[in-house]
Chains A and B, each alone.
Chain A
Amino acid sequence: MPTGTTLAEKVWNAHVVHPGQDGAPDLLYIDLHMVHEVTSPQAFEGLRLTGRRPRRPDLTIATEDHNTPTLNIDLPIADPTSRLQIDTLRNNAREFGIRLHSLGDADQGIVHVVGPQLGLTMPGLTVVCGDSHTSTHGAFGALAFGIGTSEVEHVLATQTLPLKRFKTMAVNVRGRLRDAVTAKDVILAVIAKIGTGGGQGYVLEYRGPAIEALSMEGRMTICNMSIEAGARAGMVAPDEATFAYLKGRPHAPAGRDWDEAVAYWRTLKTDADAVFDTEVDIDADALEPFVTWGTNPGQGLPLSASVPDPDEAASDEDRLAIAKALEYMDLAPGTPLKQVKVDTVFLGSCTNGRIEDLRAAAAVVGGRAKAQGVRMLVVPGSARVRIQAEKEGLDKVFKAFGAEWRNAGCSMCLGMNPDQLAPGERSASTSNRNFEGRQGKGGRTHLVSPLVAAATAIRGTLSSPLDL
């Protein structure tokens, strides 16, 4: 009889305030609550209407990211509805005493980039945010998941959430990644394998040599897209890379607290005799750069493949889904993916907008010329990432290449600000969702890694750096 527990269960068990009985959920304590302008106004309004106050402003942090323009950030926001939403967050932060990093502040940026860079994201925490990509923070061995606005209000008021236990799934990534194959390709392959619903009800734990060899940035990319497989959260057990990333960051523990923390963090791994509810194996050696061809992140294939044929689908349901996706994407079955021409390349987002992503792309485009007619947007995930990139001269590389060098935010990942695709326009995007209209009404999205994005900007068709 196995007695061990998994990483996710350890973190869960350490946060149970009140155990649920007879099918009721556990009441879980929340260590860190991140807030942005889109999913919080109605939560603050709820507090106001019920006369409640945030219980722990000192466990709460807000940034402006979804609506913020990436040009002319010193001027008033042109779109009045975006401006209203940002102003609403500023007023709520002031009224309720919440720390806010506003546009123009060096710590402004996408909430999932800002938390880790400030050292607020740590192993063993429960982290929530009204944003599904909160799963990003699981890269540190935190239990981190997205919540809805009612839950945002709940956490503000009580610093807890009633939650049903998740099931656990091990994603074993064996072997070693080949040249030009990145964390993004791993997660796109995982989602293609288990499907957009395959992770429903699960916390995924990414394990194995290929995961251990990844940087924290790469682990964040993978955990970030756990939600695209339907999972609430993804996790990686903390190790020396995690501790090295954290040490010395503004909010990382110091002195004796650091030693105590690290001693505890070292215990945060799945016991050898623990049993996962499900296990999935991925062979890293066999992976190629991956791209999506359809309208959900599970509709992906290796870059060397061709657009699938609906008539070869396994079921009627699949046939219909493929046909609908191809119609929207305006792709003919059998077309080699490498022949698909794009209009726009977007490098950025909470998936791939970190310094390592910009470095990787800059190394590919440096000294080369952009394909004619292709527009490339480079949007750092945070103002600090932008500052760091400028220090390293990456901005000059991108500008010389002909790319646009922007200020930080979610930008074209979801097109809530002016950075959008025009109807019928096609992008290669390092973001996380290729849903219909995600990047602008009628826009067509192919999800790719930063390396593929860079090579695609050079050739004008979906490409890997190995094609150059």
Chain B
Amino acid sequence: MEKFTVHTGVGVPLRRSNVDTDQIIPAVYLKRVTKSGFEDALFSAWRTSDPDFVLNRPAYKAGSVLVAGPDFGTGSSREHAVWALRDYGFKAVLSARFADIFRGNAGKQGLVAAQLDQDGIEQLWKLLEAEPGLEVTVDLVETQVRAGDLVAPFSIDAYTRWRLMEGLDDIGLTLRHEDEIAAFEARREAWRPLTLPAKHLPDAPVAPARPA
């Protein structure tokens, strides 16, 4: 994972609350088996059907800092939502509230999910709408956002911040505790289930349904 300290890029005001993961990336794009190349999928319904959608306006097209309404990333666990934002070029999303799974996924992929109070979001929206193409600085070292004359603090979980700044891989960190994992496994109770060897009810034929 690349280290993240300070990023400056075009801010994109997304005046919507409850932007769910089906809006960020519709399910039809989840059929891919790769981990990159999702830029076309980002907000695809809005980008294809609404010419006034913010990313369809030239000044915001090159955006890398998304400023969204509260409850961003609600819904499914699809990490594709983070990949789509990342592949489009976003480095940070600012919102007053994030869905838990989205926030976790973002942290694992180097996308900063920075929590600002709604006042700060409103001020950023006004600035970015008054001057389309205005750049926003997301400073993870100082945990603050800067744009024009505005300086606003944001919050992010301290551990996630540390991992992002160090660019650390979670699995590598966990494997430092290999001995403790093995010791835990040695004391697990016998009643806890194993999936192998597989146990079943008696096999039964499944008739294929046919079109009416």
Contacts and interface: CB of A to CB of B under 8 A. Distances in A.
Interface residues of A, number: 106
Nearest to B45: A437
Q: Which of B76, B77, B97, B174 is the most central at the interface, judged by chain A CB atoms within 10 Å of its CB?
A: B77
Contact of B211 (A71, A148, A227): A71
B191 A257 contact: yes
Contacts of B79: 39, 42, 130, 148-150
Interface residues of B, number: 72
B195 A17 contact: no
Contact of A232 (B28, B101, B175): B101
Interface string A335-353: 0000000000000000000
A106 B45 contact: no
Interface string B129-142: 00000000000000
Q: Which of A18, A46, A405 has the most CB of B within 10 A?
A: A18
Determine the main DSSP class of B at the interface with A: loop
A446 to B, nearest CB: 16
Interface in A228-279: 230, 232, 250-253, 257-258, 260-261, 264
Contact of A84 (B33, B194, B211): B33
Contacts of A118: 199-200
Interface string B154-167: 00011100000000
Given A264-B189, A296-B74, A106 B104 contact: no
A387 interface: yes
Contact of A125 (B22, B101, B192): B192
Contacts of B89: none
A212 to B, nearest CB: 24
A377 to B, nearest CB: 10
B193 A119 contact: yes
Interface string A48-61: 00101001011111
A135 to B, nearest CB: 10
A200 B208 contact: no
Nearest to A41: B33
A162 B170 contact: yes
Interface string B94-105: 000111110011
A90 interface: no
B97 A148 contact: no
Nearest to A49: B35
A109 B195 CA distance: 16
Interface in A279-304: 296
A158 B174 contact: yes
A27 B46 CA distance: 39
A435 B31 contact: no
B153 interface: no
Contacts of B194: 58-59, 251
Interface-centre pick from B69, B174, B175 (highest chain A CB count, 10 A): B174
Contacts of A84: 31, 33
Interface stretch (B6-14, B55-63, B144-152, B177-185): B177-185
Given A146-B101, A197-B18, A407-B206, 4 more contacts: A72-B208, A72-B209, A296-B74, A435-B20
